[in-house]
Amino acid sequence: MSKNNDELFKNVIGHAKEYGFVFPSSEIYDGLSAVYDYGQLGAELKNNLKTYWWKSMVQMNENIVGLDSAIFMHPKIWKASGHVDGFADPMIDNKDSKKRYRADNLIEDKIAKYESEGKKEKAEILQQAMDAALTADDLSALKNLIEEHQIVCPVSGTRNWTDVRQFNLMFSTQMGAMAEGSDEVYLRPETAQGIFVNFLNVQKSGRMKIPFGIAQIGKAFRNEVIARQFIMRMREFEQMEMQFFVRPGTEMEWYKHWKETRLKWHLAIGTPENKYRFHDHVKLAHYANAAVDIEFEFPFGFKEVEGIHSRTDFDLSQHQKFSGKKMQYFDNDLNQEGKPYGNYIPYVIETSIGLDRLFLLTLCNAYEEEDLSSDERQDSRTVLHLHPALAPVKATVLPLTKKDGLPEKARQIMDKLKYDFNMQYDEKDSIGKRYRRQDAIGTPFCITVDHQSLEDDTVTIRHRDSMKQERVLTKDLKNIIGELVSWKNLLS
């Protein structure tokens, strides 16, 4: 990360804490590694991001429905899905610093270093060698790469490494007394399995016809080897996943469809297109026949935000095998088309986005330290250019002064609008300072009540990005704000 980007990222993290977006968890006890709490504004922004996803997936698509499955699930599910045996990362310890790393992350950092030094060829060769080692699950090849490229521990600066070992990422805990004897259960490492095991429940009770999707938002837990980059890699995080069930043989069409649809969804927030790229997986997960990441350019480089995976019929077939229950779908249309069979296990296209990474992306993208200096004076402001539909506070009502009945008038306006929008009221400090405070939290509109308001029932609306003001009738406020913060602007 260059110094500028490094500084920018530190400022974003500082800003998130200072204004109540994100706090380190258990901070008064010195924190808990890779766990974070969302503050008063963070909770609002997070809810808005969820709403955006849910509306676009569930409400906008007649053939996609929602689900809210439990975090605890029968432990056999994780055996069937392959997580008990295969959900592991390659880790390596430095014997001097006693720090643990993901071997592939250390190598990725070296690749980035080569790139930043203009050593393109070296970077490419190392990338290919790492991909080959990961594809073959060859742990000693990873260790060799670390040695060959003289990768040192960022903390101790030494090359005194252990061997590379696999480390399972699932958290487990004990649950009551289970009939079969074993009482070990896992905290789900992904929300997807809750969808798979409910596939027939939803299909039958909702009379769903293929192709159809099931969407869910919920917590997932992974005992990540190393926590990095703020809320980018957490041990407790939230996923928004959708499994789309299709006829076998049609999966590549749908894979393409969801790849395009999901990128459009990202761009609608107002993020520049050149900040995104697709990254095709070389090493496919055990369940996939195609997979791509949507990557975003964070201040620390391009990183995965969302995965689109063609999961074949792997998960449903495994659950059929492990549960002994049929997971087949009867395709009446197929029978009517005169095809010889109507029963099959559907194929699945998955879209899986991390809510916390989306949150970080949104914050990084919105954050600007804007220089407003003119010939006469130096000035600057920090502003979050959030899409109005996503902004935590939609509008703030500000009486110009604390006297002459202005606060009362401002309160009346606030009381009318608060049923429709998340509002704030602020009468402390100069009007300029109050505007800056709202800019810093991304409030798109400031409504100022002045003496003229008492005479003709008008107020000024100040627009966050342009800082332009216009005078409008109080009775029109609801429509004006409603139009500008409408979900329609994001969804259509």
Q: Does 233 bind ligand ATP (CB under 6 A)?
A: yes
Residue length, the chain?
492
Q: Does 311 bind ligand ATP (CB under 6 A)?
A: no
Q: Provide the minimum distance between the beta carbon of 223 and ligand ATP in the complex, in angstroms, as a whole number.
A: 9
Q: Which residues touch 291 (CB under 8 Å, ≥6 apart)? A: 280, 281, 284, 285, 307, 308, 309, 310
Scanning the structure block, which residue is given the tokens 């429709």? 420
Residue closer to ligand ATP (CB basis): 58 or 305 = 305
Q: Does 222 bind ligand ATP (CB under 6 A)?
A: yes
Q: Does 307 bind ligand ATP (CB under 6 A)?
A: yes
Between the alpha carbon of residue 380 and those of residues 368, 387, 432, the distances in Å are 10, 21, 12
**Number of residues binding to ligand ATP, judged by CB under 6 A:** 16
Residue closer to ligand ATP (CB basis): 191 or 203 = 191
Residue closer to ligand ATP (CB basis): 211 or 307 = 307
Q: Which residues touch 167 (CB under 8 Å, ≥6 apart)? A: 88, 89, 90, 91, 223, 225
- Scanning residues 185 to 204, which ones bind ligand ATP (CB under 6 A)? 190
Q: Provide the minimum distance between the beta carbon of 348 and ligand ATP in the complex, in angstroms, as a whole number.
A: 14
Quick one: angle between helices 139-148 and 103-116, nearest 10?
Answer: 40
Q: Provide the minimum distance between the beta carbon of 330 and ligand ATP in the complex, in angstroms, as a whole number.
A: 31
Residue 334 identity: L
Residue 415 identity: D
Q: Does 306 bind ligand ATP (CB under 6 A)?
A: yes
Q: Does 104 bind ligand ATP (CB under 6 A)?
A: no
Nearest Cα to 348, choosing from 308, 391, 295, 383?
A: 308
Q: For the chain, state the CA radius of gyration.
A: 26
Scanning the structure block, which residue is given the tokens 């990005």? 465
Q: Is 92 helix (H, G, I), strand (E, B) or coil?
A: strand
Residue closer to ligand ATP (CB basis): 213 or 307 = 307
DSSP-derived secondary structure letter, 477: H
d(CA 63, CA 65): 7
Q: Provide the minimum distance between the beta carbon of 7 and ligand ATP in the complex, in angstroms, as a whole number.
A: 24
Q: Provide the minimum distance between the beta carbon of 20 and ligand ATP in the complex, in angstroms, as a whole number.
A: 21
Q: Does 96 bind ligand ATP (CB under 6 A)?
A: no
Q: Does 109 bind ligand ATP (CB under 6 A)?
A: no
Q: Does 354 bind ligand ATP (CB under 6 A)?
A: yes
Contact window for ligand ATP (CB under 6 A) among 78-86, 233-241, 405-413, 428-436: 233-241
Scanning the structure block, which residue is given the tokens 């060799």? 144
Scanning the structure block, which residue is given the tokens 């991001």? 49
Residue closer to ligand ATP (CB basis): 122 or 279 = 279
d(CA 338, CA 341): 9
DSSP 283-324: S--TT-SEEEEEEEEETTEEEEEEEEEEEETHHHHHHHHHH-
Q: Does 234 bind ligand ATP (CB under 6 A)?
A: yes
Q: Provide the minimum distance between the beta carbon of 66 and ligand ATP in the complex, in angstroms, as a whole number.
A: 18
Find the binder of ligand ATP among 92, 217, 292, 305 (CB under 6 A): 305
Q: Provide the minimum distance between the beta carbon of 441 and ligand ATP in the complex, in angstroms, as a whole number.
A: 24
Q: How many CA atoms lie within 13 A of 12 on its CB side?
A: 23
Query: Which residue's beta carbon is nearest to the bound ligand ATP?
Result: 354
CB 342 within 8 A of CB 330: yes
Residue closer to ligand ATP (CB basis): 77 or 398 = 77
Q: Does 123 bind ligand ATP (CB under 6 A)?
A: no
Contact window for ligand ATP (CB under 6 A) among 121-129, 234-242, 267-275, 314-322: 234-242
CB 95 within 8 A of CB 160: yes
Find the binder of ligand ATP among 52, 237, 265, 296 (CB under 6 A): 237
Q: Provide the minimum distance between the beta carbon of 238 and ligand ATP in the complex, in angstroms, as a whole number.
A: 8
Task: Name the pairing type of β-strands 236-246 and 469-473.
Answer: unpaired
- Scanning residues 161 to 190, which ones bind ligand ATP (CB under 6 A)? 190
Name the burial class of residue 373, with classes exposed (0-12), middle (13-18) and buried (19+) by CB atoms within 10 angstroms of its CB. exposed
Q: Is 341 helix (H, G, I), strand (E, B) or coil?
A: coil
Q: Does 315 bind ligand ATP (CB under 6 A)?
A: no
Q: Does 53 bind ligand ATP (CB under 6 A)?
A: no
Contact window for ligand ATP (CB under 6 A) among 140-148, 320-328, 346-354, 420-428: 346-354
Q: Does 352 bind ligand ATP (CB under 6 A)?
A: yes
Q: Does 417 bind ligand ATP (CB under 6 A)?
A: no
**Paired tokens of 73:** 């699930």
Q: Does 217 bind ligand ATP (CB under 6 A)?
A: no
Residues in the site for ligand ATP, rule: CB under 6 A? Answer: 190, 222, 224, 233-234, 237, 239, 304-307, 352-354, 356-357
